[in-house]
Structure 1
């Protein structure tokens, strides 16, 4: 006999409620976070005496670079962090990306990126006829990720 109690499925999270924590950076005006991912590269091999069967086993782990887009403000903290990398003084920081509930305040999910450092910066496109917010891009490389 099936269980008569019906469990209500949780609503999917919304992608527009998020916050970033970067040590040394005041709360930024981030408009987008993309590229969060991890891949375990398979290693293919043949076992002796089994013929043509190709087996796989887990190989190196590769974390994708995360792209941050943010509204250009007068604050120079992210640019200074990038400049340190350019000058060979890599400042690794632990970054947290938090998904928030619909109230915009309650944390529902967190990804922690360890030993992160900026590897690419792109300035905001400028357009004399435009009316958009100036948005810069900062790409982040990191060594390890956890979902907390």
Structure 2
């Protein structure tokens, strides 16, 4: 309570958003519940150059092509859930249905606070983690997406 007896309101901009409340939409496949998202990275390749007659004995560094790293999504295996397997099995030669994938970080009210959008994403790899007879974990599958860039919406 404040000195005047009124409740103090907390500044919502003072605290960063927690990483555990998020939503993933795989284009036409809709919202799919994932337990983990990683690999939201953008990087520029480095170009180094030095002219032979340069008086400076160092190389000049310039930004080159932009490259997007793969994004990894993990989720539990559910009975009769084949959407990701159907998508990756649709790869034929160089033909794959590409999707716009949105990853949204949500606020405490479940509203979108920040969104990352992957352009022309397609499934590069899917893996089911091993099974153990004496294990005590959820069956998990991992989807690795290739894409052509991340934008923040």
How many angstroms does 1:25 deviate by? 2.3
Give the alignment partner of residue 75 of structure 2, picking from 58, 70, 73.
70
Please give the alpha-carbon distance, in whole angstroms, between the structure 2 residues aligned to 1:102 and 1:65: 29
Distance 1:134 1:87, change over 3 A: farther
- Segments of 5+ residues of structure 1 without an aligned counterpart are 1-6
Aligned pairs, how many?
141
> Cα–Cα, structure 1 residues 33 and 117, in superposed 2: closer, same or farther, change >3 Å?
same
Provide TM-score, normalisation by structure 1: 0.87
CA drift of 1:89 comes to: 3.1
Deviation at 1:88, TM superposition (A): 4.8
* 8 Å CA contact 1:24, 1:77 repeated in 2: no
How far off its partner does 1:129 sit? 1.2
- How far 1:75 moved relative to its partner? 1.6
The answer as to whether partners of 1:44 and 1:56 remain within 8 angstroms in 2 is: yes
Quick one: which of 91, 113, 123 aligns to 2:128? 123
Among candidates 96, 106, 128, match of residue 100 of structure 1: 106
* Cα RMSD for the two superposed structures: 1.8
Question: C-alpha deviations, 1:80-112, integer Å up to 9, x for none?
Answer: 011112665311110000000123x11100001
Once the two structures are TM-superposed, the CA of residue 131 in structure 1 deviates from its matched residue by 2.4
2:139 to 112, 134, 144: 134
Q: Write the mapping of 1:1-148 to structure 2, written as runs, cut at 5 A.
A: 9-51=13-55, 52-73=57-78, 74-85=80-91, 88-103=94-109, 105-148=110-153
Output the CA distance in 1 between the equivalents of 2:26 and 2:92.
Answer: 19
Shift of 1:41: 0.8
Alpha carbons 2:121, 2:148 under 8 Å: kept: yes
- State how far apart, in whole Å, the 2-side matches of 1:23 and 1:144 are: 15
- Select the structure of larger CA radius of gyration: 2
